[in-house]
Homo-oligomer: A and B are copies of this chain.
């Protein structure tokens, strides 16, 4: 619809997740028409991100060094490991400021449909981290969906051979939610996990 580069830029933005053709067009025109938008900065960051950013050799989180800022932090409790599917989940949990242990990023979840088995995840690396016996608790924080639950079940069986406490994040009603609109599985879980007040 447009001449060369503008259309190419729209197409390229349209390849990114969550950006449809209309959004891609809006973004391309914003870049073209807003002198305040720093094109060279975005361009430079795109070049640097793949070059300089890698994955922490311990936990698999994103990092610009061999070890990520969490694994390097001496104030974090190394006896607690929270297992997540993705590096984005690390950021989500960090935002809660509730957890002061370390992480282990699996790099996905077991999904027979997507052809992802235990061997495709960073499970061997997790077992290596647990081998010296210094870890007291592993919190399984995979997503509360089919794949995440399957992964948690698989890991809990594997970890029960070790002398480590294995826990799973609570399922229940989301805070600020409405009981009436909760799905029956979530509501059922909220009953199962009810606490004495």
* Residues in chain A within 8 A of chain B (CB atoms): 1-6, 8-9, 12-13, 15-19, 23, 25-32, 37-50, 52-53, 62-65, 68-69, 86-88, 91, 94-95
Contact = CB atoms under 8 A, between A and B. Distances in A.
Interface of A is mostly: helix
22 contacts: A1-B91, A1-B94, A2-B91, A3-B68, A5-B45, A5-B53, A6-B49, A6-B53, A12-B38, A13-B42, A15-B37, A17-B26, A19-B23, A19-B27, A25-B91, A26-B88, A28-B49, A31-B46, A39-B47, A42-B46, A43-B43, A43-B44
Number of identical monomers bound together in the oligomeric complex: 2
A28 B17 CA distance: 10
A184 to B, nearest CB: 27
B27 A17 contact: yes
